[in-house]
């Protein structure tokens, strides 16, 4: 076979393959959205779930998902920021740094079900938090930390050294340079990283099954005292999230309108994740424009 | 000593702040390391107690083919705790998914980087990026509503099984492998391509003999990452594989993986019992495998550097 025919055949094959892949991926997205969107209604998004009869919604699960997400981000962001600052600004090349980097790499590749089991063992059982929002938020934090740390570290590393030298030349200590010069310059890409990781955390289920639990007790949305048992803010109540709900109703299979609820909930999950993904880049670009003279 | 000397001898305000900031950020970093160490310590200690505390033989556990921890085998006076069905199940779905996904991922990334950069960047790039972020339960729902009935119609049986698991994992790891392969291909220097074309190579010869060779370590890393994700994936697989802890003998009958048994079982057993300990041993295997995937990635990276 001469080289030109081979080239043509190969090009054709590559076109075919990428066509198939595009088709699979697009039809998947379309499938979820087309099947799910018709089921969405204000009632569906706000009313509580019903296990044995049709007509339930996903209100509590949706609230739980966002509440857990916010708590997890509140815990993980300062830790990840601190770790990233140390790694990028203070750490010298050496044994300690390489061990730490390996540890973060390993943590980021751990299956999320293992993270969930660890959370179950330590926080649910040993510390006696039970199946609760608190246990779930800590498990999500562990799941989120390595990726968030790496993304913030990359954002910091992108700031040119010129800025650090300028800070030192003005007589600022390293810490002052980081706080007043480097961090403000890195804010746009840090925000992009945070929002992207929020999308990942929002859809996580395996780490939550045995930490935040699989039940969603009724909530009283008029009661905002975090110490009351039926208050939405109470961090010690079990809280099934949207992703866990989808998994649970599908594996139990007893809900009469299972297909409708599962389709609607999946569509909501995807739409939220897509929103996070789109807005991440938009917000980052906007902040960059606002904070710099570019 | 007068005041000025004293002031000069002391640490300045900003030096103090600097050491404080340094200490805080070091503490945050150490916290992550402590978490990693404690995950390993706790999961390993629970997992190993199957062997040390309950006296199960490692060989019986790894090579036994019957899994039914709540029933005692009358001959050996031990429960049936052969984990081979799940271990095999996990490895089979992982390798099959990687084998199917690799050509698709490489073809798509070549399309995006070598053949149609513009359309690649405009259409494929955003789709791939979005799909990397899709939650795994959604893949499970798609598997349950599309793939399982489809397999049922074609091959008969229940539709649940290794084949369905493989297809779900294939779709799941495809975006991961593709986006990492695209990054590798993009990092192949432009002058490699120009030199190849300048000595008269066709585009395919250039791709096959130069670009792919230069990118091999990166592509292998991408595949291993995909496999690590597939191996550790729990819910999507659990929803479609059928959850029967039997030795996998064909692709369309129900089977199970390490993760699926874990998600189903850990809530139904009592802490400290043998039935619970063996589940932790499965979790330990998952942990060790993710360590192995990590080491493989490092080994590939080191080999790639030597060139």
* ipTM of the complex model: 0.88
- Run of H or E including B6: helix B3-9
Tens digit of pLDDT at every position of chain A (294 positions): 688 898 899 999 999 998 999 898 889 889 999 998 888 888 888 877 777 777 777 888 888 999 999 999 999 999 999 999 999 989 888 888 888 988 998 998 899 999 999 999 899 888 888 889 999 999 999 999 999 999 999 999 999 999 999 988 998 888 999 988 899 889 888 998 899 899 889 989 889 988 888 887 777 777 777 777 778 888 888 888 999 999 988 888 777 888 888 899 999 999 998 888 888 878 888 887 887 665
pLDDT of amino acid A294: 55
Could you report the per-residue pLDDT of B29-39, keeping only the tens digit for each?
Answer: 999 999 999 99
Per-residue pLDDT tens over the stretch B202-216: 899 999 999 999 999
Find the DSSP H helices in B53-161: 58-63, 84-110, 117-119, 125-132, 136-142, 148-155
Interface residue B292 vs chain A (CB under 8 A): no
H helix runs in B143-211, sequence order:
148-155, 162-187, 190-198, 203-205
By the CB < 8 Å criterion, does A170 face chain B?
A: no
Q: To which CATH superfamily is domain B84-306 assigned?
A: MetI-like (1.10.3720.10)
CA distance B17 to B38: 31
A96 and B CB contact within 8 Å: no
What local confidence, expressed as pLDDT, does residue B185 receive? 92
User: Residue A293: what pLDDT?
Assistant: 62
Asked if the Cβ–Cβ distance from A210 to B133 is below 8 Å, we say no
Instruction: Considering only the beta carbons, identify the residue of B46, B110, B129 that sits closest to A14.
Output: B110
Report CA-CA distances (Å) from A179 to A91, A190, B22, B75.
17, 14, 12, 69
Q: Give chain B's largest Cα–Cα span.
A: 94
Does A10 contact B208 at a Cβ distance shorter than 8 Å? yes
Q: How far is A266 from chain B (nearest CA, A)?
A: 6
For residue A122 the two structure tokens come to 């330590």
CA torsion through residues A70, A76, A78, A81, sign = negative
- Report pLDDT for B70: 76
Burial profile B182-216: b = 16 or more Cβ within 10 angstroms, e = fewer: bebbeebeeeebeebeeeebbbbbbbbebbbebbe
- Residue B26 reports pLDDT greater than 80: yes
Residue where the block lists tokens 């902040």: A287
Long-range contacts (CB closer than 8 Å, 24 or more residues apart) made by A39-42:
A39/A260, A39/A261, A39/A263, A39/A264, A39/A267, A40/A264, A40/A267, A40/A268
- Distance between CA atoms of residues A281 and B153, nearest Å: 43
Between positions 4 and 43 of B, the ones with CB within 8 A of A are: 14-15, 17-18, 20-22, 24-29, 31-33, 35-39, 42-43
Q: How many CB atoms lie within 10 A of CB B129?
A: 14
Q: Which residue of B has its CA nearest to A144?
A: B32
Quick check: A81 and B28 CB within 8 A? yes
Strand partners, B72: B79
| DSSP annotation of B160 | -
Q: Does A3 contact chain B (CB < 8 Å)?
A: yes
Q: Which of A279, A110, A180 is nearest to B233 (CA)?
A: A110
Domain ranges of chain B: 84-306
Q: A42-291 maps to which CATH number?
A: 1.10.3720.10
Chain segment B51-84, per-residue pLDDT in tens: 888 777 888 888 878 888 777 777 777 778 888 8
- pLDDT tens-place string over residues A59-99: 888 889 999 999 999 999 999 999 999 999 898 888 888 88
Distance of CA A75 to the CA centre of its chain: 13
- Shortest alpha-carbon distance between residue B55 and chain A (Å): 22
Q: What is the pLDDT of residues A155-165, one digit of tens each?
A: 999 999 999 99
């Amino acid at each position: 076979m001469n080289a030109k025919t081979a080239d043509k055949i190969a090009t054709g094959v590559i076109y075919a393959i990428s066509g198939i892949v595009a088709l699979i991926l697009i039809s998947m997205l379309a499938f979820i959205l087309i099947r799910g969107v018709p089921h969405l209604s204000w009632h569906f998004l706000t009313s509580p779930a019903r296990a044995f009869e049709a007509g339930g919604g996903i209100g509590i699960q949706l609230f739980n998902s966002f509440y857990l997400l916010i708590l997890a981000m509140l815990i993980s962001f300062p830790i990840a920021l601190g770790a990233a600052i140390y790694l990028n600004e203070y750490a010298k090349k050496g044994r300690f740094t390489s061990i730490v980097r390996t540890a973060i790499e390993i943590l980021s590749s751990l299956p999320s079900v293992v993270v969930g089991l660890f959370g179950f063992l330590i926080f649910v059982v040993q510390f006696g938090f039970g199946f609760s929002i608190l246990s779930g938020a800590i498990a999500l934090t562990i799941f989120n930390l390595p990726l968030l740390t790496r993304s913030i570290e990359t954002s910091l590393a992108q700031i040119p050294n010129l800025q650090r030298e300028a800070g030192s030349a003005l007589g600022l200590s390293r810490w002052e340079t980081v706080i007043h010069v480097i961090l403000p310059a890195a804010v746009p890409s840090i925000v992009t990283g945070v929002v992207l990781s929020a999308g990942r955390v929002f859809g996580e289920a395996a780490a939550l099954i045995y930490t935040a639990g699989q039940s969603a007790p009724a909530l009283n949305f008029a009661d905002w005292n975090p110490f009351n048992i039926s208050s939405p803010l109470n961090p010690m109540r079990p809280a099934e999230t949207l992703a866990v709900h989808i998994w649970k109703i599908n594996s139990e299979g007893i809900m009469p309108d299972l297909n409708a609820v599962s389709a609607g909930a999946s569509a909501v999950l995807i739409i939220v994740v897509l929103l996070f993904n789109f807005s991440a880049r938009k917000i980052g670009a906007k902040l960059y424009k606002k904070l710099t003279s570019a | 000593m007068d005041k000025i000397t004293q002031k000069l001898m002391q640490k300045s305000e900003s030096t103090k702040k600097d050491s404080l900031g340094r200490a805080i950020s070091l503490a945050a970093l150490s916290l992550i390391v402590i978490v990693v160490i404690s995950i390993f310590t706790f999961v390993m200690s629970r997992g190993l107690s199957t062997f040390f505390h309950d006296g199960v033989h490692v060989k019986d556990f790894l090579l036994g083919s019957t899994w039914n921890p709540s029933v005692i085998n009358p001959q050996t006076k031990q429960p049936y705790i052969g984990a081979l069905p799940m271990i095999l199940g996990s490895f089979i779905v992982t390798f099959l998914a990687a084998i199917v996904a690799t050509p698709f991922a490489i073809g798509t990334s070549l399309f995006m980087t070598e053949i149609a950069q513009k359309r690649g960047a405009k259409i494929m790039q955003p789709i791939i990026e979005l799909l990397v972020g899709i939650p795994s339960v959604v893949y499970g729902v798609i598997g349950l509503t599309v793939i399982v009935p489809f397999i049922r119609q074609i091959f008969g049986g229940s539709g649940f099984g290794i084949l369905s698991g493989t297809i779900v994992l294939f779709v799941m790891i495809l975006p991961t492998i593709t986006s990492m392969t695209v990054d590798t291909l993009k990092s192949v220097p432009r002058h490699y391509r120009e030199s190849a074309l300048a000595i008269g190579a066709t585009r395919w010869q250039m791709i096959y003999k130069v670009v792919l060779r230069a990118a091999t370590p990166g592509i292998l890393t991408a595949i291993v990452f995909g496999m690590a994700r597939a191996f550790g994936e729990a819910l999507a697989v659990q929803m479609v594989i059928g959850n029967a802890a039997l030795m996998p003998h064909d692709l369309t009958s129900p089977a199970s993986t390490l993760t699926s048994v874990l998600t189903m079982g850990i809530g139904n057993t009592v802490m400290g019992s043998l039935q619970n300990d063996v589940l932790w041993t499965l979790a330990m295997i998952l942990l060790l495998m993710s360590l192995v995937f990590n080491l493989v990635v490092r080994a590939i990276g080191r080999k790639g550097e030597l060139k």
